[in-house]
Amino acid sequence: MLDAHRGIAPDSVLTELTILGEALRGRTLQHINATRSGGGVAELLARLVPWTESLGIRTTWDVITGNEEFFGVTKTMHNALQGADIEIPHSDFAGYLKCLQENAQRVKLDADVVLVHDPQPAYLIDWFAKDRRRMAWRCHIDLSQPNEQVWRFLRQAVSKYALAVFHVPQFAQRLPIPQILIAPSIDPLSEKNRELGEAEISAVTDRFGIDRRRPLLVQISRFDRFKDPMGVIAAHRLVRETFDCQLVLAGGAATDDPEGAKVLAEVQEAAAGDPDIFVLSLPPNSDRDINALQRAATVILQKSTREGFGLTVTEGMWKGKPVIGGAVGGIPSQIIHGTTGFLVHSVEGAAFRLRFLLTHPRAAERMGEQGREHVRRHFLVTRHVRDYLLLMLTVLQGCPDQPIRLPLGSKTP
Amino acid sequence: MATAHPKAENRPVFEFWKVAFLVEVTPLRALSLPQLLTGVTLAPESSIFFHLHQRFFRDPARLPEFPNDFADWVDSILGDAVAAERLANLNLFRSIDLAVVRREISVILAEHFQQNGDGRHAPAGQEFIFCQPRLVTFGSGRRARTPAEFAGILREIDSDSIGYHLFTPKAVPGRVANDFAVWFRQLGYEELARQLDAFDPYLNSLEDNRAYLLEMIEAGTKEREG
């Protein structure tokens, strides 16, 4: 895999992967999360697991199971942790814990380092007391303004891990354990991000009835209120008062998101009868379609009101597109305002920046080029794997305060 | 001028090391200049070091307008250009005695808000968050025995390695020279070592530092190697 990324990823990161991979060869890593498909976490893991495997680190990926009630509670927790004003009854927490207890009997923790992703499986740690020093909690959501009741509940579990990992400093909390920052990434060689020819792009846009001769605005996201699809429709309507342009809102469903169908229905209703708005509910394995839609776009949007980290922001920049994103969560760490795109706070802000980019195609092109280089340096999977290897070293060495020194050819103890 | 050079078999070997780091968040936050002063007073030394150097590693090809995080935050978030310029003008290149630097930053901040008031507060979500690095250093496998080998490796080694050898040794109390100056002094290139020692790496990006170092080394070793 290293060779395939030569000439794409920075050389320094590839060198680091070689040296760190050698030091960790023979070690084992286990990921645990709540879904194998749909949403950013599953997508990241699908790319990261083969990477660490290719470096000689045996890597497993376990998914917890639960009924509709369990995922209903975890979705409510997810919304509350991202700031929604919701009170969760104690009985729901009890049901959540019971389901995790059942999972704990099924899941085997047999790796040197275990990464537990997001709140859904966080309480598994209660059933693995002797393994806590090798378990890290990886948070993928925007915890900048969490609902106090739900965070108080979750904090008790998170505090038991060896360390916690967040996307950006603003998500870190008061915890008695070290808190590390690791930004997510994209794989430039995946079906979603690889180069596509014009014919491949047109085949997809033609299938959906999109006119390539007119400007195209694209937001790719799950149908989730925090992604603000209604705000995007409103911004498009403001822009269309002066520009003839089309809008694509496209996304799939995640198995741990029971709200998606309801939001999709609302969006379809808002767009009904408008021939220039394409609401596309994409099935799993639509990566090539998403790639083509992003490459066909004039501008990419991710107008979220809460966002852990917008993978679609990174994907859009990698495709050389200017990106307009909500100034929330991890997005300000991705978009350099005025250089690779724009950060906005309102529907009007989005409309204003869209009008600017549609009027200034050269500026848009320059932003796209700068965005691609920004992603190459900071947001490719190679940097992400390197950070996970550093994390493994840190956990294996008991999170020491002093720097870890690895002479060439050394192995981890 | 160069003094006696060690014989080939006695020449010290220069090993290029690489550095990578994870960023760890500390509990310290600041929303204003007075709070930044409190944070600077309480932060671990590794955090002060991190905020003075991380921008060089983050974008090795470009020298940012303000080379340290303190100055950048005060300018871009608090909108206080005067305080930002004072913080940018910290003179780090002779040595990085972190106790002295911490005191210098504290004096700048204290004097500034005594003269100008507390100033603006950062909007929610844009506070200064003190972080520190969790460093991993590792051998790159590149070793030089002669100035020519050294220049060859320096030309192509990753920029983090250059940053590591320029910045981190000077953070050791009492140490002034960077690793490169020390090695050339051991080889007997006293004049070149003095120039390398006087070289200020804080005024350039790491890639520009690479180019300047190569120029100096090629000029300083030409006569003898030729």
Question: Which of A119-123, A257-261, A269-273, A291-295 has the weakest average pLDDT?
Answer: A257-261
Q: C-alpha distances in angstroms, B193 versus A20, A175, B10, B197, B207?
A: 33, 47, 19, 6, 20
Whether pLDDT at B225 is above 70: no
B interface test, pick of A13, A306, A406, A411 with most B CB neighbours within 10 Å? A406
Chain A residue with minimal CA distance to B131? A169
Gap from A374 CA to chain B (nearest CA, Å): 9
Contacts of A203 (CB under 8 A, 6+ apart): A292
Lowest mean pLDDT among A72-76, A353-357, A395-399, B173-177: B173-177
A16 touches chain B (CB under 8 A): yes
CA–CA distances in Å: residue B107 to residues A221, B9, B40, B110: 49, 51, 11, 5
Provide the 3-class DSSP secondary structure of residue B185.
helix
Query: Is A143:A171 a contact under the CB 8 Å cutoff?
Result: yes
Lookup result for tokens 């639960």: A66
ipTM for the predicted complex comes to: 0.89
Half-sphere exposure of A48 (CA within 13 A, CB side): 26
Q: Which of A59, A128, A126, A61 is nearest to A93 (CA)?
A: A126
B77, B126 Cβ separation under 8 angstroms: yes
Higher pLDDT: A332 or A341? It is: A341
The partner residue sitting opposite B138, judged by closest CB among A169, A377, A406, is A406
**Residue A181 to residue A163: CA distance in whole angstroms:** 11
For range A233-255, the mean pLDDT: 91
Query: Which phi and psi (to 5°) does residue A287 adopt?
Result: -60, -40
Positions of E strands within A270-345: 277-281, 299-302, 323-326, 341-344
CA angle B79, B83, B86 (to 5 degrees): 140
Classify B57 as helix, strand or coil. Answer: helix
A391 at B interface, C-beta within 8 A:
yes
Q: What was the pLDDT predicted at A412? A: 65
Q: Is the pLDDT of residue B226 over 60?
A: no
Instruction: Report the percentage of chain B scoring pLDDT > 90.
Output: 69
Based on the number of CB atoms within 10 Å of its own CB, is A129 exposed (0-12), middle (13-18) or buried (19 or more)?
A: exposed
Of B58, B129, B134, the CB nearest to A169: B129
From the list B20, B129, B159, which residue is nearest A390 (CB)? B20
CB contact under 8 A, A180 and B22: yes
Q: Which residue has the tokens 């999977």?
A: A381
As a whole number of Å, the end-to-end CA separation of chain A is 26
- CB count, 10 Å around CB of B151? 16
- The pLDDT, as a whole number, for residue B92 is 84
Q: How far does the CA of residue A128 sit from the closest CA of chain B (Å)?
A: 25
Write out pLDDT tens, residues A161-203: 999 999 989 999 999 999 999 998 999 999 999 999 999 999 9
Q: Which of A6-15, A36-45, A229-238, A286-295 has the lowest mean pLDDT?
A: A36-45
**Contact call for A166 and B135, based on CB within 8 A:** no
Q: Is A179 on the interface with B (CB under 8 A)?
A: yes
At B4, the pLDDT band (50, 70, 90 cuts) reads low
Q: What are the residues whose beta carbons fall under 8 Å from the beta carbon of A217, sequence distance 6 or more? A: A232, A236, A239, A245, A246, A247, A248, A297, A298, A299, A301, A354
Span B4-27, mean pLDDT?
Answer: 87
Give the whole-angstrom CA distance, residue A384 versus residue A247.
32
Mean pLDDT of A127-155: 93
Angstrom CA distances, A397 to A136, A182, A366, A373, B210, stand at 13, 19, 45, 34, 33
> Confidence class of residue B117 from pLDDT cuts 50, 70 and 90?
confident
pLDDT of the residue at B178 = 86
pLDDT at A155 over 70: yes
Interhelix angle A347-359/A229-239, rounded to 10 degrees, is 50
In tens, the pLDDT along B172-222 reads: 666 667 899 999 999 999 999 999 988 999 999 999 999 999 999 999 998
Percent of chain A at pLDDT > 70 equals 98
User: What's the mean per-residue pLDDT of chain A?
Assistant: 93
Q: What are the b/e assignments for B93-121, b being 16+ CB within 10 Å?
A: bebbbbeebbebbeebbeebbeeeeeeee
What type of residue is B134? Answer: R
Residue of A nearest to B161 (CA): A12
- How many angstroms separate the CA atoms of A26 and A411, rounded? 10
**What is the per-residue pLDDT across A279-328, written as a single tens digit (0 to 9) for each?**
999 998 899 999 999 999 999 999 999 887 889 999 999 999 999 999 98
Kindly report whether the global pTM for this prediction surpasses the value 0.80.
yes
**What is the DSSP track for A15-71?**
HHHHHHHHHHTT-EEEEEES-SSSSHHHHHHHHHHHHHHHTT-EEEEEE----HHHH
b vs e for A192-216, b when ≥16 Cβ sit within 10 Å of the residue's Cβ?
A: bbeebeeeebeebbeeeebeeeebb
Residues B137, A181: C-beta atoms closer than 8 Å: no
Q: What is the mean pLDDT of residues A370-379?
A: 95
pLDDT tops 60 at residue A357: yes
Give the nearest partner residue to B137 out of A174, A179, A403, using CB atoms: A403
Q: What pLDDT score does B2 carry?
A: 46
Q: In terms of CA atoms, which chain B residue is nearest residue A22?
A: B138
Say if CB B197 and CB B176 are below 8 A apart: yes
SS3 B30: strand
Tell me whether residues A170 and B129 touch, CB distance under 8 A: yes
Residue of B22, B45, B140 to mutate for A, most A C-beta atoms under 10 A:
B22
Residues 6+ apart with CB under 8 A from A237: none
Which chain A residues have a beta carbon less than 8 Å from that of B21? Answer: 390
CA atoms of A341 and A136, how far apart (whole Å):
34
Q: Which residues of A touch B25 (CB under 8 A)?
A: 166, 169, 172, 179-181
- Residues paired with residue A29 on neighbouring β-strands, in sequence order: A59, A113
A12 interaction partners in chain B (CB closer than 8 Å): 18, 158-160
Mean pLDDT, rounded, for A248-256: 80
**How many interchain CB pairs under 8 A, A with B?**
82
CB spacing of A406 vs B141 below 8 angstroms: no
A254 band by pLDDT with thresholds 50, 70 and 90: low
User: Token pair for residue B22?
Assistant: 């994870």
Rounded Cα distance, B58 and B144, in Å: 27
Q: Model confidence at A113, in pLDDT bands (50, 70, 90)? A: very high
Banded pLDDT at B125 (limits 50, 70, 90): confident
- In sequence order, what E strands does B63-199 have? 128-144
Type of residue numbered B130: F
Collapse the DSSP code of B120 into the 3-class scheme (helix H, G, I; strand E, B; otherwise coil) and give the result. coil
Q: What is the mean pLDDT of residues B159-167?
A: 94
| Identity at A224, one-letter amino acid code | D
**Over 60: is that where the pLDDT of B3 sits?**
no
Question: Which of B15, B25, B72, B210 is the best residue to mutate to test the A interface, defined by the most A CB atoms within 10 Å of its own CB?
Answer: B25
